[in-house]
Amino acid sequence: MILQADAGGAVPISAGDTAWLLVSTALVLLMTPALGFFYGGLVRSKNMLNTLMMSFASLGVVTVAWAAIGFSLAFAPGNAWLGGAGHAFLVGVGVEGGAWGPTPHLLYAAYQGSFAIITAALISGAVVERMRFGPYLSFIFLWSIAVYAPVARWVWGGGWLGTLGALDFAGGTVVHINAAVAAVVAALVVGSRRDYGRAALLPHNVSFVLLGTGLLWFGWFGFNGGSALAANGTAALAFVNTLLAPAATLVCWMLLDAFRERNITAVGAATGIVVGLVGITPAAGFVSPASAMALGALVAFPSYFAILHRPRTRLDDSLDVFAAHGLGGITGALLVGVFAEKAWGGKEGLLFGNPGQLWTQAVAVVASAAYSALATWLLLKLISLVTPLRRPDHEEARGLDLVQHGEEAYTRGEGAVLVQPR
Amino acid sequence: MILQADAGGAVPISAGDTAWLLVSTALVLLMTPALGFFYGGLVRSKNMLNTLMMSFASLGVVTVAWAAIGFSLAFAPGNAWLGGAGHAFLVGVGVEGGAWGPTPHLLYAAYQGSFAIITAALISGAVVERMRFGPYLSFIFLWSIAVYAPVARWVWGGGWLGTLGALDFAGGTVVHINAAVAAVVAALVVGSRRDYGRAALLPHNVSFVLLGTGLLWFGWFGFNGGSALAANGTAALAFVNTLLAPAATLVCWMLLDAFRERNITAVGAATGIVVGLVGITPAAGFVSPASAMALGALVAFPSYFAILHRPRTRLDDSLDVFAAHGLGGITGALLVGVFAEKAWGGKEGLLFGNPGQLWTQAVAVVASAAYSALATWLLLKLISLVTPLRRPDHEEARGLDLVQHGEEAYTRGEGAVLVQPR
Amino acid sequence: MILQADAGGAVPISAGDTAWLLVSTALVLLMTPALGFFYGGLVRSKNMLNTLMMSFASLGVVTVAWAAIGFSLAFAPGNAWLGGAGHAFLVGVGVEGGAWGPTPHLLYAAYQGSFAIITAALISGAVVERMRFGPYLSFIFLWSIAVYAPVARWVWGGGWLGTLGALDFAGGTVVHINAAVAAVVAALVVGSRRDYGRAALLPHNVSFVLLGTGLLWFGWFGFNGGSALAANGTAALAFVNTLLAPAATLVCWMLLDAFRERNITAVGAATGIVVGLVGITPAAGFVSPASAMALGALVAFPSYFAILHRPRTRLDDSLDVFAAHGLGGITGALLVGVFAEKAWGGKEGLLFGNPGQLWTQAVAVVASAAYSALATWLLLKLISLVTPLRRPDHEEARGLDLVQHGEEAYTRGEGAVLVQPR
Amino acid sequence: MKLIIAIIRSERLNEVLEALYRAEVRGLTISPVRGHGGEVEQVETYRGTRVKVGLQDKMRLEIGVSEPFVEATVNAILESARTGEVGDGKVFVLPVESVYRIRTGERDEAAVTPQAPGAPV
Amino acid sequence: MKLIIAIIRSERLNEVLEALYRAEVRGLTISPVRGHGGEVEQVETYRGTRVKVGLQDKMRLEIGVSEPFVEATVNAILESARTGEVGDGKVFVLPVESVYRIRTGERDEAAVTPQAPGAPV
Amino acid sequence: MKLIIAIIRSERLNEVLEALYRAEVRGLTISPVRGHGGEVEQVETYRGTRVKVGLQDKMRLEIGVSEPFVEATVNAILESARTGEVGDGKVFVLPVESVYRIRTGERDEAAVTPQAPGAPV
Ligand SMILES: Nc1ncnc2c1ncn2[C@@H]1O[C@H](COP(=O)(O)OP(=O)(O)O)[C@@H](O)[C@H]1O
Ligand SMILES: Nc1ncnc2c1ncn2[C@@H]1O[C@H](COP(=O)(O)OP(=O)(O)O)[C@@H](O)[C@H]1O
Ligand SMILES: Nc1ncnc2c1ncn2[C@@H]1O[C@H](COP(=O)(O)OP(=O)(O)O)[C@@H](O)[C@H]1O
């Protein structure tokens, strides 16, 4: 997903490249429901629908925000920090090819939008089982405009980080670090679940966790493979690395589980796969398949131990967004600076004689993390001035499905009595 | 999915377009299982398998009907009302391109078949939890031949509605209005569930409803995007509108829920997404992205209020096929006549100075609805002469899974005793 | 998936063909999680996670094995029996086209790898609910190298069966017969479940079985359609046959169920679909659509009756891998020799005047079955020398999820007490 | 003090709850159970495995009532749960030694007498 | 009239049902429960969260029998449910004041005596 | 011998289990139930269908204890399960005629006295 400014003459459409970008967009859009199941399986059944809705709603709210102004801020002509309003409401976005490649402009806008949608949804993992739904909706709406769009500009939209030479193939900084830092801030501002650290809060349906994982991996082929914006060798490389790296992470994670816990857990395997996917994201089109496997194996370690440790801290990042996406994203973003190779489409990294790249990568990590932290904090504080972010404790105890949505995920209708029409 | 008669010389295959049509066909075929989960989650657990099977069986029964004769009736050379038997059993359908585009004829037949399959399955939502399975199978077999194929002919196969100038990009009339009207008739002929209106009949698994919704949306990108029959600008437009419109519907629906019910429901969100998808279907390749969003927002209203009202009527259209697909389809089909633009691939609509198009759209809506109603009624009456459409009440109370399929969806096997071999 | 040796000059990449191969690879990779749900729904809930993990783990373990050496053994330059180590760790595998077509070499390797992954996972159906997880992991790792890779070599990698003229479009012998024979051997070596034949071991979640089926069918379009290695007429033929054949099998299976059992079962429908998919696999790109339907109908019979009969035998092939994949694969592989037509891309079969092809097919069936049986037996015996293949009976009674993974698939956390950090 | 345990058809639950409401029973506890009685057994088939399921889904009600209410409560159940087909279920009346309301610690009669949340204890 | 409540291992259910059948017990009601007793606790791990689960899945049987059948019924359960390992469960015998068959309104002995559906009441 | 049946709030289960542990209760059986009492009813909406759900999720405990332990056990439950809000639940104490430990066939007191698995019977 290399950046570009709007180019001059229209580029003719290539059917093959367009076919792949169409499919990739659909695949990335599937990841948001998939995330809902990954997250939803990990919460208690009384909060299942709320957790699912935190993902599904992003498909509505963030899509509208993106079409209205987000895409324009990220990719319309403008400066190194922000695009202009030239493409607000997708004005001037047609079906011709352009600087992004021989694919319709509108499709490119939708593809980029699919990234904004899932990034916002990722944050929800840190505030599940307690945050009120209305403020959450406002938050992701504003966040996608005020945080996601600018960072996307910097890295992919012709902004300063891209110009600096930071490599981020499919969103290590823009998507994962960005969302993960926002998640930590959100967990701190919203506060812990009332019974966090005291009661055992267990996943109500690990099958759904694995269903989500399977669909996430499937969608991720469009996330990384599609970021080549064409059906070419780079797409193939990114695709294959998206298979190899998480496979290596999974093997590594299972070995860690086997040696440390004597049990290879299913939740662990699902987590390992996601961590591997996150790790390879910034690197997918820049490193060799062998490097991808090495990166996949390495990325397991920080996340594995962070996840073991986190529940003993007071930070109720409930579904470990930071440990998985933050640490995975940071490790991946830095390892690009180590493993990248010109021969495979990137620039040379540390291993190939260019230690400077590692430094550039670190700048990108720090810059996006710092901005995300600050802006997220401001947004949440702003919202909390208008309306409380949580429900009273006894309502939280009943579960957000009942209290926020007036529904139960699983019911046999025992003792439910029809209310006559109003 | 613009109509065509069989063309003269063979058109060479385009790999890019074929790739997209292959994918689109697979996506549309995935929608039928997805529908099973959407519908299945909404029924009580004792009828889960029956409801799922009503969708899955369509993949068998309607596919066979389509290959045997349906495709031929809809798309083989013939007259304005019906095709001939020239392509019965897919005779003469090869792998060359033709009037439909630079893609294999056989693939085109399968793509069209995937629409017939889901259309038939849509009807089941009106008769779940009570209709006998055998008669249902006969019904969808016959219906796909006697109702779906002719209407497809009229609109897409070079028939009179297409000639009249009716616009239906991907199936507002052919698929949604057609199925929804059939659904109402079926609900009337089969009758209400025995406890309809007296007991609270609640969804047994809202998670599955959302799973179905996610997969339906994913598949719908092939449904609408693929209807361009090529990987070109129109495909991109249709695809992107299939993202924007339902997003707008979803936002609208959540706001309606929030203001009227004080609760944003998950079942509501799922319904809203489907309604938005239905609404954009006839318009996807004919309207601008901004119009698509407007259309998406507007289409929410009739369905929202119809769904609120329906349970107070005596019409047990159990899963609101008419409110979602009928009203959504009608609103969408009429709004094409308002929002269509030549610049975006359609003809000019009302807003662009051509009020006549709205009239043409209305004709198409009425014609397909009238035919569907009449023919569906006849078919069901015919079947009911041969065999009853329902089981006795006490069997319905036990649930169709046990009574019709001899299985339970969820069992722990408590107290089940192996029966020795016959 | 026609074989080839490495060709001379690099073939330029075709975007359209590459797009389809990218998608097909993703689709086949989705089949492994799908298989997990198909299998998982059929076991008792206390073994759900273990069963899911047997599939998911293959995505880790077999991927690594394939990249390390499997691909090289199957497809690197070598002899008629085995490839060399030239492509070990994917060395020398780049993004240029070659003898396999105008698609990146790396992508071709991944596509082939996706077949190895699911083939290994298929075996697990015969040993669920009892085999220890560690030995299982070692087994599939070794099996994919020592059994899958050689057989793939013979048929697709320029090996002796391919040279002999055996037709196997997408894996009747390499995938299904190979896995099914291994499954029988594994069931025999590992032994029956402790309560097999005495207690009623019922599927805990038939909805998941159907979910898996839907996703398997979806993925199978990439399995068979992608085996054309291009987005051309052959891909379309293989794709459409992958719709028609299982549809015919499903109809046939439902009729058999209706007449023999008086109940059309959902588990039966799911099984019928899979059997139809297996049956058409070796034939998909070689037979006419009409023949595909005939083949689909015929393939139902052996599997249907074998599945009825198996539980009365002492062979605890728990999820009927042999009846579905073995008999389906054999019937399909032989029927290729009957229905294949040059006009549709194959060679002439029995019906078209070439009875010899049937004989060649039989040789391929017997050779792959024999090798698989022998090698699987050796591998399992080897592993059992190092570590036991099973847990003691009372642990099996508690369920492998608890005993092997330290987790429960579905829990409400009742009475679970947090353990303080170590 | 008595504890009334009733096993009824799941599909009659709403009728029974209404009847109990009319009989001024305000507190009760229910749970889903499976029962075996005189009903015909269901045969289920999963692939080649054929099983006889001799257990039907039922609903179990547990109601603590003081002596004067026993008869009315039992009658309310008997009438509302009856369909006349085999499988309607049973009602058991068990003696109870003491009952406590957890919220207030009240005992026996007082523990099962409805009481406004804010009322003096 | 007695109500026999038995807590048994889930995996012994079929054996117990068979034994009860042989003991001519025709009506009973079961439900899944979780029990705590002398068994070792299971440790489960979900990511960093480690929990001790002190409850085991058990099956609960509830059987109303008339006096003469009590002993036979209890013995049938004791014998068929026993594995000899900790966790086999308990049997409680409770007094019952009255039993009703909902379908017919019959009381006590008559209510638990098997009876053909069409037989005169 | 008594059988103590307690209906408590699901979310107090862990506290109650701990309190029982401290009261030296070693065996018990629990099951999820739904209860109706004085609590406000929840309204749920599924599309146009609006329902009043008058049942709340509760947890049911069943504990067989010998006489000397009854009071301590009841008190442990009363104290640990109380929140003071309507809906805290009830405790019933029922007479028991006999108890058996399935594993050993022991009766009454012996049946509910914790005992090492290997100890002589
Ligand atoms: N002796 C019993 N003890 C406990 N529960 C019983 C007993 N007899 C019947 N039941 C319960 O009542 C239900 C209906 O009883 P059944 O004998 O089938 O019908 P009926 O009472 O109409 O003759 C059974 O499914 C079971 O749950
Ligand atoms: N006092 C009791 N009250 C109620 N249920 C009990 C009691 N003691 C044990 N149980 C039930 O019996 C099961 C087995 O009891 P346990 O003490 O573990 O084994 P054993 O009876 O073999 O010594 C427990 O899981 C619990 O469900
Ligand atoms: N008479 C009763 N018989 C059986 N269970 C009861 C009875 N009364 C209350 N319960 C159970 O206790 C729970 C709480 O009772 P409720 O009356 O709401 O609160 P409180 O005891 O605080 O007044 C109910 O949900 C129900 O499960």
Which has the closest alpha carbon to C66: C108, C122, C110, C36?
A: C110
Q: Is C34 on the interface with A (CB under 8 A)?
A: yes
Q: Is D28 on the interface with A (CB under 8 A)?
A: no
pLDDT of residue D37 exceeding 80, the answer is yes
Of C17, C64, C107, the CB nearest to A239: C107
Which has the closest alpha carbon to C161: C407, C366, C397?
A: C366
Distance E40 CA to ligand 2 centre (A): 12
Does the C-beta of F103 come closer than 6 Å to ligand 3? no
Chain A residues whose beta carbon lies within 8 Å of the beta carbon of residue C23: 20, 23
HEC string of C200-249 equals: CCCCCCHHHHHHHHHHHHHHHHHHHHHHHCCCCHHHHHHHHHHHHHHHHH
Does the C-beta of E15 come closer than 6 Å to ligand 2? no
Does the C-beta of F87 come closer than 6 Å to ligand 3? yes
CB contact under 8 A, D47 and C263: no
> Poorest-confidence range of A393-407, C21-35, C74-88, D105-119?
D105-119
Q: For residue D28, give the chain F residue with the closest CA.
A: F36
- Ligand 3, atom 5: closest residue by C-alpha: D28
**Beta-carbon contacts below 8 Å between D and E:** 87
CA–CA min distance E6, chain A (Å) = 26
Digit-coded pLDDT (tens) for A151-189: 999 999 999 999 999 999 999 999 999 999 999 999 999
pTM: 0.96
Which chains share 3+ C-beta pairs under 8 angstroms with D?
A, B, C, E, F
Digit-coded pLDDT (tens) for C178-199: 999 999 999 999 999 999 998 8
Distance D6 CA to ligand 1 centre (A): 10
Q: For residue B202, give the chain A residue with the closest CA.
A: A413
CB contact under 8 A, E48 and A265: no
Ligand in closest contact with the CA of E36:
2
Strand partners, B101: B98
CB contact under 8 A, F77 and D102: yes
Mean pLDDT for the stretch of residues B207-224: 98
Token pair in block for residue B408: 């339970």
Strand partners, E4: E63, E93
Ligand 2 nearest-atom number relative to CA F3: 3
CA distances from A28 to A31, A106, A117, F15 (A): 5, 16, 9, 45
CB contact under 8 A, B415 and E30: yes
Based on C-alpha coordinates, what's the Rg of chain C? 21
Burial (0-12, 13-18, 19+ Cβ within 10 Å), D120: exposed
Give the model's confidence band at D5: pLDDT under 50 very low, under 70 low, under 90 confident, else very high: very high
Q: Is C165 on the interface with B (CB under 8 A)?
A: no
CA dist., res. E94 & res. E5, Å (int): 8
pLDDT of residue B280 exceeding 90, the answer is yes
How many other C-beta atoms are found inside a 10 Å radius of the C-beta of residue D17?
22
Q: For residue E48, give the chain A residue with the closest CA.
A: A308
Does the C-beta of E121 come closer than 6 Å to ligand 2? no
pLDDT of residue B420 exceeding 80, the answer is no
Distance F89 CA to ligand 3 centre (A): 5
Digit-coded pLDDT (tens) for A97-135: 999 999 999 999 999 999 999 999 999 999 999 999 999
Mean pLDDT for the stretch of residues B149-159: 97
pLDDT of residue C54 exceeding 80, the answer is yes
Which residues of chain E have a pLDDT value below 70? 114-121
Strand stretches in A86-192, DSSP E: none
- Ligand 2, atom 23: closest residue by C-alpha: E86
- Would you state the pLDDT for residue A413? 84
- Would you state the pLDDT for residue B8? 52
Q: Is C251 on the interface with B (CB under 8 A)?
A: yes
Chain E residues whose beta carbon lies within 8 Å of the beta carbon of residue F5: none
Ligand in closest contact with the CA of F89:
3
CA distances from F1 to A86, B307, F111 (A): 82, 57, 10
Q: For residue C410, give the chain A residue with the closest CA.
A: A205
Strand partners, F101: E90
Ligand in closest contact with the CA of F35:
3
Cβ B119 vs Cβ B175: under 8 Å: yes
- Would you state the pLDDT for residue C6? 47
Q: Which of the listed residues F4, F5, F7 should we mutate to test ligand 3's pocket, taking the one with most ligand atoms within 8 A of CB?
A: F7
Digit-coded pLDDT (tens) for C97-141: 999 999 999 999 999 999 999 999 999 999 999 999 999 999 999
Ligand 2 nearest-atom number relative to CA F103: 22
Task: State the number of CA atoms in the 13 A half-sphere of F94 facing the CB.
Answer: 31
pLDDT of residue B7 exceeding 50, the answer is no
- Would you state the pLDDT for residue B67? 98
Q: Is D99 on the interface with F (CB under 8 A)?
A: yes
CA dist., res. D87 & res. B140, Å (int): 37
Amino acid E28 reads: L
CA dist., res. A123 & res. A186, Å (int): 8
pLDDT of residue F119 exceeding 80, the answer is no
Q: Is A153 on the interface with C (CB under 8 A)?
A: no
Q: Is B360 on the interface with C (CB under 8 A)?
A: no
Digit-coded pLDDT (tens) for D83-95: 998 999 999 999 9
CB contact under 8 A, E31 and D60: yes
- Ligand 1, atom 23: closest residue by C-alpha: D86
CB contact under 8 A, E46 and C407: yes
- Encode burial over E103-114: b for 16+ CB neighbours within 10 A, e otherwise: bbbbebeebbee
Beta strand pairing call for F28-36 and E28-36: antiparallel
Residues 6+ apart with CB under 8 A from C117: C29, C32, C58, C59, C62, C63, C66, C144
Ligand 1 nearest-atom number relative to CA E3: 3
Ligand in closest contact with the CA of E64:
1
CA dist., res. B361 & res. D88, Å (int): 57
Ligand 1 pocket, CB under 6 A: D 7, 35-39, 56, 58, 86-90; E 27-29, 62-64, 101, 103, 112
- Ligand 3, atom 26: closest residue by C-alpha: F35
CA–CA min distance B352, chain D (Å) = 57
CA dist., res. B227 & res. B230, Å (int): 8
Chain D residues whose beta carbon lies within 8 Å of the beta carbon of residue E98: 92-93
Distance D96 CA to ligand 1 centre (A): 23
CA dist., res. C366 & res. C173, Å (int): 9
Mean pLDDT for the stretch of residues B99-106: 96
Ligand 1 nearest-atom number relative to CA D90: 12
- % of chain A surpassing 70 pLDDT: 97
pLDDT of residue F118 exceeding 70, the answer is no
Digit-coded pLDDT (tens) for B267-277: 999 999 999 99
Does the C-beta of D28 come closer than 6 Å to ligand 3? yes
Q: Which residue has the tokens 């053994």?
A: C73
CA dist., res. E54 & res. C232, Å (int): 60
Chain D residues whose beta carbon lies within 8 Å of the beta carbon of residue E116: 38
Digit-coded pLDDT (tens) for C11-22: 999 999 999 999
Q: Is A16 on the interface with C (CB under 8 A)?
A: yes
CA dist., res. A124 & res. B134, Å (int): 46
Token pair in block for residue A357: 């790249």
Mutate to test the interface with A, among D11, D12, D13 (most CBs of A within 10 A): D13
Q: Is F13 on the interface with C (CB under 8 A)?
A: yes
Chain C residues whose beta carbon lies within 8 Å of the beta carbon of residue A230: 15
Q: Which of the listed residues D4, D5, D7, D33 should we mutate to test ligand 1's pocket, taking the one with most ligand atoms within 8 A of CB?
A: D7
Annotate B250-268 with DSSP letters as a single string: HHHHHHHHHHHHSS--HHH
How many other C-beta atoms are found inside a 10 Å radius of the C-beta of residue B386?
9
pLDDT of residue C368 exceeding 70, the answer is yes
